[in-house]
Every structure is written in structure tokens, then in C-alpha cells.
Amino acid sequence: MSDRWNVDDVGALAPDAPSWKAARTTTSRPGAWDDAGLLSGDAFAVWGECRGSASRSYRVAVHVDTVPGPACTCSCPSRKSPCKHALGLLVRWARGELAEADTSPEWVGRWVSRPTARRSRPAAPDPARAENARLEREEAVAEGLAALSLWLCDQVGSGLSEVPARGYEHWDRMAERLVDAKAPGAAALVSELPALARHRDWPERVLERFALLHLLAEAHRAREHVAGALRTAVRTRLGVTTRADEVLAHGERVTDTWTVLARSRPHDAASGVWSRRVWLRGRTHGRTVFTLAHGRDPGALDGGPEPGTRAEAELALYPDHRRATEVHTGPPAPAPAPVGSTVAGALDTHAAGLAQDPWSAASLVVLAAVAPARREGCWYLADRDGGALPLTDPEPWLLLAATGAHPATVVGEWSPADGFRPLTVWADGAPAIAL
């Protein structure tokens, strides 16, 4: 099976903004399709029958593994390629909603076998075409961020007191402008503003988000003078994605004995997408990286490496050198507790991460010899030096049961806004417990 794309990869194919908007809001809805599935083997394709405005459905198929881009067919009258139906089908695939079927309609097999659907891969991409595409995107992003800067000035100029009264349409207009400008990452930061406005300390959170958006726009404007790691972070936060096959072909390869520190499965309620993030630390060089997978079905993200195990593995690193994709992995074995730090050391680790990526909401930290402590009705993880981090969970019964309220090594995600979320515990020399 071909490496699954993400939604941003699909959006990069859209011929215009209206087609992409229709794909995101209409034709990617599961209820819009009578049937859909995957066709794998010698040819990897996605196919489906999308309900049209008339009584009949449109037959849609996309051969993914072709270069310079996917080969598409749709029985709709649109002259755009890919049309909104093909884009919607690809969005469903990117979200993990399509399953490989035992059989597919006859028309799918006939189309895939045609030469037009099985274009051969060229020896190398056209450098001139790639450079033109890059310049066009940079120009679109620059225009979108210039509009964002003016918009931010208007928000601050009108005063924060108006923020809670503004409806979603106010924020969505700017977010859609950034999507059209091919900066979906910045659009996501804007789309989260209504949720921030519902917090008790909303003025601080909203003003901080405005500041981070301003910093992103300014960093992109001065990108030629920004250092390597920070420059990569700017591209990532804007939503410039790197496909897994490109990472496997050109990314840095690292072979080591990797300990699985933690695993989390956050859920984006707005999009309905689940994620699985697995944190790994190399024994030889101490590098900490993570792998990431997305899907609509949380059950499809079950399995994978267990926290508290280690294995010899080769990983290919994305440009930020933080995210990785597996190349090959050996058999797992139990792992001892990783080396941890004090609370002060964890805060230093978080600060160092912010220096390379100021837009990071949370960072992974490993705390050694910390125990749950309660003070003034709130729970903390405290170390022997008196340092403490507040916990996100107001009633951390799983953590209390895993540690017995005794000092232990705890791995988790720390966010100054939300607190510390424990993910894995090593207690009293016992095997790791995933929370």
C-alpha cells in the first residue's frame, strides 16, 4: 500500500480555492458516498461513487502512485483536475476512512489498466517545474501572512474586550484566507482562537496567540536571515509538509537501540481526526524523536510499539529532525527506566525546545524520582529539590495507583498553559506502566 498522505498533501493538488473548500466541507463527508474503497497490488488507487446533485452518482478513481501527480477520473462534467469529488475522495483516504475491499467495481479495474491511469515515473522531477511551484507557493504564503499581520493589528486596535462576543464567522474568514494562501498551519492557529476565548484566563491566552501569529508572520518575512532549526520550524508551523516517501528517499537515517518512552492518542474534535504519537529515545546518542500517524478510526491506531520496550531500529528523520518514520525494526525487549531530570531540568529542556520552535505548545520531559503531591486542592509532581509541576488531571488516580505515591520515573508532556500530563511510569524497578 502507498504511504498515506495527510490532508495538506491533498490540498496542494487543488486547482483553486472553491474546489478545495467544497472538498473539505462537502465531498469528503462519508455520507456523500454510496461506496468507496482501496485497490492495492500492482496499482494502488482509491475509488468511490459520490452522490451528485442529480439522481445518479459520479464514479471517481485516483491512481495515487504516479508522477508528476495522481491520475484522476470522474464522471462529473467538471473540467477541473482534480475535481472536488476526487479531492474529497483523497481527503477521506488521508483521514484513514477508506478500507481495502475484497472486490471493486468492474469500471475501476478497467480504468486502472489504461495507460492514462498508469503513467510511468520519470527518472527525476523537472527542476524548473518544481522551482516554479515553490516560488508560487512562497508568493501566496507571503500575501496571506501580510493580510494576517494587518488583521492582527485590527484585532489589537479594537481591544480584547470584543473577543468573547465574536462569532466563529469572524475567525473563520481569516482562517479560510490563510488556507487559500497555502498556509494551513497558520489557519489552524487562527481557528483555535474561539476555543481559547472560552477559558477563564482568556485574555492572556488570546493575546499570547496573537503574539505567536505575529511572530510567525515576521519570521517568514525574515526567513532568509533565520537560523536552520528555527527556519524549519517556521515552514512546519505554516503547514509546509514533507511526504513520508520523500523522507524515506532523502531524510537522514539513524540506526540505534530506541526506547519507547511514551505513547499518546490526542483527538481533534473539530476535524474528528485521531492521532498516535510515539516518543522514542536512542541509547547511543540520546536523541529523542517521535513517530506520528493519523486516522478517523481510533481502532486503526491501536498496536504499535509499547511504552517501556526497546528495539534496534533504523529511522528516517523529517527536516525538523524531531519527527521520524520507521525503516525497519527488530524484535522488542523490556527497557529499564530512562535517565530523567529534576523539575528544573525539565523546564530547561522545554525552554531549549522553545528556542528552536516557539510555536510548540508542549514538550516531552522525563522526570526522575518525582512523587504526586497535593497542595491547596491541586495535584503536582514534586521532586526532592522542592520543584513541582502542576498536573492536568485534577484527580490523577491512575498515577497514584502506578506510583503508590512513592518517587518514580515519570514521562509526560509538559505545557505551561495546561500542566503536566503523565504518560508512562517506571516505579521501584518494575516494568513500565502506560497511563
Q: Which of 151-155, 165-169, 403-407, 411-415 has the lowest mean pLDDT?
A: 165-169
d(CA 133, CA 75): 28
Task: Look up the CATH number of domain 244-334.
Answer: 2.40.50
Domain ranges in the chain are 7-117, 127-238, 244-334, 343-434
Lowest-confidence range among 25-34, 66-75, 408-417? 66-75
- The residue to which cell 511504552 is assigned: 307
Cell representation of residue 314: 533504523
Chain mean position to CA 386: 36
Does the pLDDT at position 69 exceed 80? Answer: no
Rounded Cα distance between 248 and 311, Å, is 20
pLDDT of residue 4: 65
Strand blocks (E) in 362-418: 363-375, 378-382, 388-390, 408-415
What confidence tens digit (pLDDT) does each residue in 100-135 have? 766 778 888 888 777 555 544 434 456 777 678 778
- Sheet with 433-434, side-by-side order of all strands: 388-390, 378-382, 363-375, 408-415, 419-426, 433-434
Name the pTM for this structure.
Answer: 0.69
* pLDDT cut 90: percent of the chain above it: 40
Residue 328 has pLDDT above 50, yes or no: yes
* pLDDT, tens digit (0-9, with 9 covering 90-100), for 182-193: 888 899 899 989
| pLDDT value of position 117 | 53
What are the φ and ψ backbone dihedral angles of 34, each rounded to 5 degrees? -75, -35
Per the model's pLDDT, the better-predicted residue between 56 and 156 turns out to be 156
Residue 223 makes CB contacts below 8 A (sequence gap 6+) with 231, 234
Per-residue pLDDT reduced to its tens digit, 332-353: 899 999 999 999 999 999 999 9
pLDDT of residue 132: 80
Residue-level pLDDT at 343: 96
Q: Round the average pLDDT of the chain to a whole number and report it.
A: 86
Question: Exposed, middle or buried: residue 104 (CB in 10 Å: 0-12, 13-18, 19+)?
Answer: middle
Q: Are 216 and 224 in contact (CB under 8 A)?
A: no
pLDDT of residue 422: 96
Q: What is the pLDDT of residues 276-322, one digit of tens each?
A: 899 999 998 889 999 988 776 677 677 678 999 999 999 999 888 88
Residue with grid cell 495507583, as numbered in its chain: 401
- Least-confidence region, from 197-206, 323-332, 413-422: 323-332
Highest-pLDDT range among 6-20, 298-312, 414-428: 414-428
% of the chain beyond a pLDDT of 70: 91
